[in-house]
Homo-oligomer: A and B are copies of this chain.
């Protein structure tokens, strides 16, 4: 009989069990034994796939990033540029259970990365990747005339980045979290306000 699942698929299952655990009980609750129990395997077996706990955690975090990345890549271009930008941003916001879980995991890791140099490197990678995305979005919108030509791209990218991470945080807050509707509305409003001056300033051509 052939192997039911291969090595990588098993690692992914274990990572998903880790996600569920983080989502339910937080990152601190993640222990080798609990993850194994959650995944329905023995602790010794888990250890066969991940030599150390940090290796498991790093893998679990990396998979979150890849899942988001894949979702973004498979996003077909929207009607207008603004719609597309909104759709892109919504991929990293806790608008459904799947993305809420990702947000919780992400925030938990960032919190731990504040003091764990090992995870800090990984967290910084993801952080910078997201900033880079926002930077490109802003730049593209300026290029297409959706944003004023005098827009400070870095400033707006950092502002959008902070807003999005803040919304993610508030969207998964324990009590009375920000509703998906409100989150969407805030993002839309932010993009509108960004573009406001583009309409007000008629000089869209060369100076």
Kindly specify which of A7-15, A60-68, A188-196 makes contact with the partner chain: A188-196
* Interchain nearest-CB distance for A176 vs B (Å): 7
CB within 8 Å of B: which residues of A?
24-29, 104, 107-108, 110-117, 120-121, 123-124, 127, 152, 155, 158-159, 161-167, 169-170, 172-176, 178, 182, 185-186, 189-190, 193, 196-197, 200
Bound Cα distance A145, B189 (Å): 21
Shortest Cβ gap from A38 to chain B (Å): 15
Distance in angstroms between the alpha carbons of A167 and B160 in the assembled complex: 10
A155 touches B185 (CB 8 A): yes
Enumerate chain B residues within 8 angstroms of A190, measured Cβ to Cβ: 159
| CB proximity of A20 to chain B, nearest CB, Å | 12
